[in-house]
A and B are shown apart, each in its own frame.
Chain A
Amino acid sequence: AQSVTQPDIHITVSEGASLELRCNYSYGATPYLFWYVQSPGQGLQLLLKYFSGDTLVQGIKGFEAEFKRSQSSFNLRKPSVHWSDAAEYFCAVGAGNTDKLIFGTGTRLQVFP
């Protein structure tokens, strides 16, 4: 069965510091992987996605993620965090047809000035 683990429930960083949010997945075949961001009271916004090809994918707002098959991971990174990045971040895995997404429990990011 597909599953997603986000080990960090809450992360706090200083503005300008680098960021890495961890995501591990369980899926038998090559997965479709996604990172979404959710600001308070808002819906989910897609940051980036991986289907195949280059294992380093670029997304919006300066985010990137790297797919590592050997580690079953898809960690999200940003070199310099802005205060506006404070939000909840969700990693998700989809089946081949992506008609159903399995989400992790999320990581809440807090940014201090």
Chain B
Amino acid sequence: EAGVVQSPRYKIIEKKQPVAFWCNPISGHNTLYWYLQNLGQGPELLIRYENEEAVDDSQLPKDRFSAERLKGVDSTLKIQPAELGDSAVYLCASKPQGEVEAFFGQGTRLTVV
């Protein structure tokens, strides 16, 4: 069974440019998460989806961040415009609704220069 797939693995952009990250969760997993992991820190939740509905986006900086999960399968996280402080690892995770264990992708490491 394929795990959570994220792309790209690495991205370097100049500040003020837009960037997008893609996540394909494990098949059948209704719940999808985007986490932000700053250097030397633990992951912090940005947004949680149940199917196509964003049920917890309280930590998402909505002035520059947006996310979508059309059709309730794969998801895209976008930053526009990117700032230097956005340099971090963006992790996607998924799990079946009602289950406990979430499975994480390998993450996208973003560097803003």
Contacts and interface: CB of A to CB of B under 8 A. Distances in A.
A49 B99 CA distance: 13
Contacts, number: 49
B48 A106 contact: no
B59 to A, nearest CB: 9
Interface residues of B, number: 22
A: contact size bracket: 20 to 34
B42 A99 contact: no
A90 B43 CA distance: 9
A46 B31 contact: no
Interface in A22-49: 32, 36, 41-46, 49
A105 interface: yes
A49 B91 contact: no
A104 B42 contact: yes
Contacts of B56: 99-100
A105 B104 contact: no
Nearest to B3: A43
A44 B104 contact: yes
B4 A43 contact: yes
B53 interface: no
Most buried by B among A44, A45, A46, A90: A44
B25 interface: no
Contacts of B104: 36, 43-45
B45 A44 contact: no
A80 interface: no
B100 interface: yes
A67 interface: no
Interface of A: 4, 32, 36, 41-46, 49, 51, 90, 92, 94, 98-101, 103-106
16 contacts: A4-B42, A32-B100, A41-B106, A41-B109, A42-B106, A43-B4, A44-B43, A45-B104, A99-B55, A99-B56, A100-B45, A101-B45, A101-B102, A103-B42, A106-B41, A106-B42
